[in-house]
Chain A
Amino acid sequence: DGGITQSPKYLFRKEGQNVTLSCEQNLNHDAMYWYRQDPGQGLRLIYYSQIVNDFQKGDIAEGYSVSREKKESFPLTVTSAQKNPTAFYLCASARGRGVDTQYFGPGTRLTVL
Chain B
Amino acid sequence: GAVVSQHPSRVICKSGTSVKIECRSLDFQATTMFWYRQFPKQSLMLMATSNEGSKATYEQGVEKDKFLINHASLTLSTLTVTSAHPEDSSFYICSARRGGFSSGANVLTFGAGSRLTVL
A binds B: no
Measuring CB to CB, which residues of chain A are less than 8 angstroms from any residue of chain B? none
Measuring CB to CB, which residues of chain B are less than 8 angstroms from any residue of chain A? none
